[in-house]
Amino acid sequence: MSTSYLPEALYTRAGFASNTALSVDDRGKISAHAAEPVQTVSLPRRALLPGLINVHSHAFQRLIRGKSESRVTSGKDFWSWRGTMYHAAAQLTPQDVYDVARMTFLEMARAGITTVGEFHYLHTDPNGHPYDDPNLLSRMVIAAAQSVGIRIVLLRAAYFRSGYQVATDPGQIRFFENTTDFLANAESLLAIYPINSGNQVQLGIAPHSIRAIPLEDLRELTAWANAKQLPLHMHISEQVAENAACKAEYGTTPVTLLTREGLLTRNLTAVHAIHITDDEIRMMAEAGATICSCPTTERNLGDGSFPADRTMRAGIPIAFGSDSQAQISLIEDARELDYHLRLSHQERAVLDQIDGQPLAARLLDCATIHGARSLSVAAGELTDGKYADFFTVDLDHPSIVGNSPEDLLSIIVFGLDPSAIRDVAVNGKLIIRDGKHEFEKEIIARYKEVYRKVWAKAPAIETLA
């Protein structure tokens, strides 16, 4: 049956339209000519916007929220922070992976996120041995997304070494595969979830980083992903030390290396890309690559401030990711993208009117349209033929009350509290209704059990120094 959703205000690229319905056909796609019969769902005092797209997530890291905020237990920087993360990763059974991912995806759904790019690198058992099904943990994460109802692009991550001339880190033992096994396992997943199959599961390839993938292997993975026309995601220049290690091994920085090798293409999304030069920005723009910025995680880890002004002026699409799950709110990430620049430039609204586009609309595009481009999903816009993925906000919520049609988008982007999000739909079906999910109590209860188990024995402080 076709469905017509009737909010008080419907977002369009031209602004908010009143008394305008969103029509959804029986395939879950937006259609101006939905077939009869039509079920009408009234959404009074609601504004309806395109679903947010979370391009970069490590679901299991939800477990370390609040556990890594001390120098005593987690050190002073990204490199020592990883010890806390490794402790959590080492404790998880396949069932735990499922339960934690469900909690993470539930929180995303409640924040208006309808699609997640899950950068998944937990592959083996805690001793580094493959499961009988080497894709078991990938399938558990996918099953968690299906249970919650969120659309997932499983970015199967390749992790082949700890770094250039670096001893193998035992904390990473669950991440490792070799090229042959990785590609065979990726092929097996594709057999289960075919390209363009039209369901809510898609796949991509994620060479973790230059430090984790030798160049010869990176060439092979990139060629394979491009031949399959799969999204290709990679951590690039998140840390100054990462650039230094790349220079030591290859004589140049990651972006320049990828350009030199012909590996920087439109298919690539560079995650973070904080420490890049103007020349590298030009290279990325010419290649048509996308950048995924993760502002909440980047400031939590002390990574640095992403040069969004220079990249936007170069025409590079920017998307957002919740990454380490320190906080899950793409609306917060959107405002932080500009707020971080305000601190460094000592100016306001730094990203406003680039190419004539108002700031709030530009930031919403990053959280929707650019994310859809990065993950190759037909979503991110409320237009004919796209998946009917959307969220609604309560127009009377204290965080945005007093709005008018002219300033509503700006108030949402810069003032919305996540509790104002009331309904969330994926493929035209509501997975959150009036702020609740049907499995919410069970998901939270099972997550709490895993959390207690993981932290019953805290990691030794000396291993985190």
Active site residues: 272, 323
Q: What distance, in Å, lies between the first and last C-alpha atoms of the chain?
A: 59
Task: Enumerate long-range contacts of 181-189, CB under 8 Å, 24 or more apart.
Answer: 181/130, 181/134, 182/156, 182/158, 182/221, 183/220, 183/221, 183/224, 185/123, 185/134, 185/135, 185/138, 185/156, 186/156, 186/224, 188/134, 188/135, 189/135, 189/138, 189/154, 189/156
172-175-178 Cα angle (round to 5): 120
Give 390's contacts (C-beta < 8 A, 6+ positions apart): 5, 22, 48, 49, 50, 51, 114, 382, 424, 425
CB 47 within 8 A of CB 395: yes
State how far the alpha carbon of 15 is from the alpha carbons of 44, 49, 172, 256, 391, in Å.
18, 11, 47, 40, 16
Strand residues in 215-324 grouped as ranges (E) = 232-236, 268-272, 290-293, 318-320
Query: Residue 268, class by beta-carbon neighbours within 10 Å (0-12 exposed, 13-18 middle, 19+ buried)?
Result: buried
Q: How many CB atoms lie within 10 A of CB 99?
A: 23
Within 92-135, where are the H helices?
94-110
Structure tokens given for 1: 């049956």
